[in-house]
Structure 1
Amino acid sequence: MDLSHLGVPVGPMVRVGGGFANRMYRLDTDQGSFAVKELNLLDRRWAYRAEDVFRFERAAFAAGIPMPEPISASRTTLVHRWVEGEKMPEAPVSPAYAFEIGQILARLHALDVAWPRVEEDPTPADWPDLAERATATRQPWAGELTAQVETFLAIAHFVDTCERPGPVVLTHKDIQPWNLLARDGRPVVLDWELSGMLDLSGELGSTALSLAKGPGIEPGVFRSVLDGYVAGGGALPPPGPSWFVFMIGGWLGFTRWNILRCLAGVEPGTGPDLALSHESARNGIRGLPDLFGRLPELEALLR
């Protein structure tokens, strides 16, 4: 990757841990510190629109959204100014933090940024075949997957048929604890690659639930995201299962993608390590059926 536009390095580029889809590095130069992301081009789950996302990021940054400054974007590499902050644990955030995230979403959805029309593919329903291949290749989670095949087929059907009430907004689409920092106790939003058009209920439900869940769900934190959204000038869509279909569908696709990486049985050259793919596959196989079964409980959060 050509990083000459970032200045003269003052040390070697260092890989940063984590990364569920791509690989991240820190580069310190005479012009500052930068987060350099090497995009996984081997088996992406969607076509990455580098120019469109970069334009959206620049507009969000110019509007004062708390985020790393976007520096450059190419087909293979994303560069942002490095931001120091505290990593967020996968646990309920404070109500004040959740309220501010809601306000950020309202400001983000008010931006006027052009976006190309994108057609979505049907949700894959090849779970019986995946279970057979997992058993044949002796994957450590094969038995658990086989036992849940019917549930995964039901989840895929739900994702394909759930009615979305609209409106559709241009947004981040992936505000999760691992894509957030706290700087002086306030949010910084990272990792904008998934940005695109999304039904508003799916964005709000996914964000509020991700910030409210831990061993249980904190209803007050969930509600704080929605209160912040209204305080920021946004209007809430009607309640219903559509609030959670995006999160469930995203986790379903992520689980399937990691299963396919595990079935290949080789360490990929980009993207997450094989061990992390095994962990993500196992977490999805165990966690998704539980989340799907709790839909009535989740919908009760909207009352």
Structure 2
Amino acid sequence: MDLSRLGVPVGPMRRVHGGFANRMYRLDTDRGSFAVKEVNTFDRRSPYRAGDVFRFERAAFAAGIPMPEPIAAGPDTLVHRWVEGRKMPEAPVSPAYAFEVGEILARLHALDIAWPEPAVEEPAPRDWAGLAERAAATRQPWAAELGSRAGEFQAIADFADNCPRPGPVVLTHRDVHPWNLLARDGRPVLLDWELSGLIDLSGELGSTALSLAKGPGLDGIEPAVFRAVLDGYTAGGGTLPPPGPSWFVHLISGRLGHLRWNILRCLAGTEAPAGPDLALSQQAAHHGVRGLPDLFDRLPGLVALLRPTR
């Protein structure tokens, strides 16, 4: 992408570390500061609809959704106006912050924006035993644990494929987590819209509420924060779908695909030209092999979070 339209640089473009799938840079020019992102198109798990996402972002920004201003989009490069703010730690947010995120989602879901028909959803991966054999043959540090839990990953795949989704389907961000949020004057700013698209509403709300209510593990979930997201959603004019396991199928199936993607990167044993480096994929594979079965085992307790508190 030709960045000259952004103005005359006042210094070199600087790499900003902290992302996972893509690579981010800050460019300061005589016209302001910009976030320039190189999107990983080398081994994405799903096609990137650059034009559709950019149209959605522009409409959301025009509607007042708190987010960086989208400036330009190409097949593998995105440009946004740079936004100063505090990075959110992977820890429970305040109930007030969670409430406002819920309101933002309600406003976002109410936008009347055309979107192409969704692609046919691929079945959940089921080659876990074969991956475990390859991991053992290449002496991956998590190979034995993957082999012992291959049956559990098959059960997770069954859940991902067969859990009924109650609807409605909404056009939305699809990836609202602390690492995609800033706090500006204590209020949310929503970043990183590349995964935007259509999703069952329950999956969007469950993934968001749980992510904002917990830390890196599952032992410190704050039910009041979880409920604050839902209360904010209804206060913003949204209607909650019926409670059930569908609220967490997007989160679980997404982590299943993410784990397999990182395992394949580790099995290749070489640095990919884009996306996370090999050490980060090793870390993600190690944590996923242990953490995803634990998340799935706790599904009944997560569903219990949907019961209104008195």
* Map of 2:20 onto structure 1: 20
* Map of 2:295 onto structure 1: 291
Alpha-carbon distance in structure 2 between the residues aligned to 1:98 and 1:193: 22
- Give the letter for the 1:149 counterpart: A
- 1:51-66 mapped onto 2 (5 Å cutoff): 51-66=51-66
Alpha-carbon distance in structure 1 between the residues aligned to 2:206 and 2:145: 28
Query: Which sections of structure 2, spanning at least 5 residues, go unmatched?
Result: none
Alpha-carbon distance in structure 2 between the residues aligned to 1:243 and 1:216: 19
Alpha-carbon distance in structure 1 between the residues aligned to 2:116 and 2:272: 31
Alpha-carbon distance in structure 1 between the residues aligned to 2:8 and 2:274: 26
SS in 2 for 1:244: helix
SS in 1 for 2:78: strand
1:209 maps onto 2:213 in alignment: no
- Give the deviation of 1:283 after TM superposition: 1.4
Alpha-carbon distance in structure 2 between the residues aligned to 1:16 and 1:141: 30
Alpha-carbon distance in structure 2 between the residues aligned to 1:275 and 1:31: 37
Kept in 2: contact 1:35–1:82 (CA 8 A): yes
Aligned length: 303
* Map of 1:231 onto structure 2: 235
SS in 2 for 1:78: strand
1:155 maps onto 2:163 in alignment: no
- Give the deviation of 1:297 after TM superposition: 0.2
- Give the deviation of 1:2 after TM superposition: 2.2
Kept in 2: contact 1:162–1:245 (CA 8 A): yes
- Give the letter for the 1:183 counterpart: R
* Map of 2:171 onto structure 1: 170
Of 241, 250, 253, the residue aligned with 2:245 is 241
* Map of 2:274 onto structure 1: 270
1:218 maps onto 2:219 in alignment: no
- Give the deviation of 1:274 after TM superposition: 1.1
Alpha-carbon distance in structure 2 between the residues aligned to 1:134 and 1:28: 44
SS in 1 for 2:256: helix
- Give the letter for the 2:226 counterpart: F
- Give the letter for the 1:90 counterpart: E
- Give the deviation of 1:121 after TM superposition: 1.1
- Give the letter for the 1:259 counterpart: I
1:251 maps onto 2:255 in alignment: yes
- Give the letter for the 2:50 counterpart: A
Alpha-carbon distance in structure 1 between the residues aligned to 2:144 and 2:18: 27
- Give the deviation of 1:10 after TM superposition: 1.1
Alpha-carbon distance in structure 2 between the residues aligned to 1:124 and 1:286: 17
Alpha-carbon distance in structure 2 between the residues aligned to 1:62 and 1:282: 41
How far does the alpha carbon of each residue in 1:196-239 deviate from its partner, in whole angstroms, 9 at most, with x for none?
Answer: 00000000000000000124210000000000000000000000
- Give the deviation of 1:124 after TM superposition: 1.4
* Map of 2:99 onto structure 1: 99
- Give the deviation of 1:146 after TM superposition: 1.2
Q: Which consecutive segments of 4 or more residues in structure 1 shift more than 6 A?
A: none
Q: After the TM superposition, which of the residue ranges 293-302 and 280-289 deviates more from structure 2? A: 280-289
- Give the deviation of 1:66 after TM superposition: 0.4
* Map of 2:304 onto structure 1: 300
Kept in 2: contact 1:19–1:271 (CA 8 A): no
How far does the alpha carbon of each residue in 1:148-172 deviate from its partner, in whole angstroms, 9 at most, with x for none?
Answer: 1111111011000000000000000
SS in 2 for 1:130: helix
TM-score after normalising by structure 2: 0.96
Alpha-carbon distance in structure 2 between the residues aligned to 1:27 and 1:148: 45
How far does the alpha carbon of each residue in 1:12-57 deviate from its partner, in whole angstroms, 9 at most, with x for none?
Answer: 1111112211111111111111111101121110000000000000
* Map of 1:29 onto structure 2: 29
- Give the letter for the 2:199 counterpart: L
Calculate percent identity across the aligned residue pairs.
77
Alpha-carbon distance in structure 2 between the residues aligned to 1:243 and 1:143: 31
Query: Which sections of structure 1, spanning at least 5 residues, go unmatched?
Result: none
